[in-house]
Amino acid sequence: MATVKDIAKLAGVSTATVSRALANPQKVTDATKLKVQNAADQLGYAPNAIARSLRTQESKTIVVILPDIGNQFFTDIIKGIEQIAHKNAYKVLLGDAGNDVDRATKYLDLVYSKQADGVLSLTADLPIDKLVDDNAQAKFPLVMACEYYWDAAIPSVHIDNEYSARLVIESLVQMGHYKIACITGASGNSISIARMQGFRDSMRKWGLQIPEQYIVEGDYSLLSGYEIAAELLSLHDRPTAIFCHNDEMAIGVLKRAREIGVKVPQQLSVVGFDNIPFCEYCTPELSTVHQPRQLIGETAMKLLLNILSGKKPNPEITLPTQLLIRGTTMPPPLDQRLKIDI
């Protein structure tokens, strides 16, 4: 492999000039620029990014911590991140945590070992003391997307989960539903907590009860939706609607309902969250909350870029969502319909 030294020799200049000619051509005569360029081409020169990193103390790489690469939801977010990153000459290292805190934490080492300049985390399932100091300030360039911490000053990009959940419940109540169950994400999950809050607030506003067994904890997988639906649908007082905290679980519910002969949406309304591509390919098509995923990724990356260049970024950005009523929701059977004056 050719190095700057080889080019210097061939072009008859110093290594300093080679470096300048390649990186800052305006700092060099046209003649030398040409000489160096030719020599570099002739030798098939490829700069050693490792050596450059060591010298400049930056890797031009950021690491994205992904809760689970198997989750469709993150696809467009990553596309958004990559687009902005590449446009700004940053490389993206994707770290899949496989839903494991320790694996996720491991990726932070890349910053300390100087292989990455910053972190864009799509999970808040990380030990907070590794991220922030005693003043709740981030220890290194860090941005959160989708998830966030309540108690730390980490810049983050997310939707209004509480409000979006209220939209869902309002819509169901307007249709006449009052027996509404909910399948959540893991118990500590910040997103799920906010959606739960929105759910509870909305129900309280209408003076509606939530039986304890109507709230069940899932794990965002197809299977958990499928299994929990079995419980929910065999309840003595069966819910007429199920609000799932993501689309995968909702799709699991649809399958179970089909198998045990509960008609969707006539006997059961189902709402998901995220609007992954498969929603429109379900039978019936899944009602859900659309998130501007690509925009979330782009915005988060721009925030990180700001931090990386030394600017103080806005600490928090909230992006809009949209309730999509499709085929899995309709008013409940007449005898189970809420009677209120609207």
Q: How far apart are CA 94 and CA 66, in angstroms?
A: 7
Q: Does 42 bind DNA (CB under 7 A)?
A: no
Q: Which does 37 bind (CB under 5 to 8 A by kind): DNA, its own copies, none?
A: none
Q: Binding residue for its own copies (CB under 8 A) from 34, 43, 69, 325?
A: 69
Say whether 257 sits in a helix, a strand or coil.
helix
- Reported as half-sphere exposure (CB side, CA atoms, 13 A), residue 130 has a value of 17
Nearest to 49 by CA among 17, 16, 15, 91: 91
Q: Which does 313 bind (CB under 5 to 8 A by kind): its own copies, DNA, none?
A: none
DSSP state of 230: H
Q: Does 309 bind DNA (CB under 7 A)?
A: no
Q: Binding residue for DNA (CB under 7 A) from 38, 41, 42, 54?
A: 54
Q: Which does 252 bind (CB under 5 to 8 A by kind): its own copies, DNA, none?
A: its own copies
Nearest to 223 by CA among 253, 265, 243: 253
Binding mask 42-61 vs its own copies (x if CB under 8 A, - otherwise)?
A: ----xxxxxx-xx----x-x
Q: How far apart are CA 3 and CA 13, in angstroms?
A: 13
Q: How far apart are CA 253 and CA 187, in angstroms?
A: 20
Q: Binding residue for its own copies (CB under 8 A) from 209, 280, 333, 340?
A: 280
Q: Which does 15 bind (CB under 5 to 8 A by kind): its own copies, DNA, none?
A: DNA
Asked if 146 contacts 297 with a C-beta cutoff of 8 angstroms, the reply is no
Tokens 């909350």: give the residue. Answer: 289
Provide the binding-site residues for its own copies, judged by CB under 8 A. Answer: 1, 46-51, 53-54, 59, 61, 69-70, 72, 75-76, 78-79, 82, 91, 93-94, 96, 98, 109-110, 112-115, 222, 226, 251-252, 254-255, 258, 277-278, 280-281, 283
